[in-house]
Amino acid sequence: MSLINSLLEGLDASDRERTVGLINRSIAADLASVADGAGPARQVDVGTRSRARRTRSTSGSGARSGR
């Protein structure tokens, strides 16, 4: 079963049509962005994983702004 089929399973005709329309518009927008030179969208970090620890400088200049 494809991803699209699994998304559509159990939906009535109206919901299926709406869902396919949303998917098509999203794909078209992504393709247009790439054609305009945009890079791929950044993936959202949804899981835990180990990360290298950053050492902070004692002067405070290593702190990130906006957080």
**The model's pTM:** 0.51
Query: DSSP characters for 31-62?
Result: HHHHHTTPPPPPPP--S----PPPPPPTTSTT
Report the alpha-carbon distance of residue 33 to residue 17 in Å, rounded: 24
Residue 24, H or E segment: helix 13-35
Give CA angle at 27 (44, 48), nearest 5°.
Answer: 15
pLDDT digits (tens, 9 = 90+) for 19-65: 999 999 999 998 998 888 887 667 776 666 666 666 666 665 555 55
DSSP 28: H
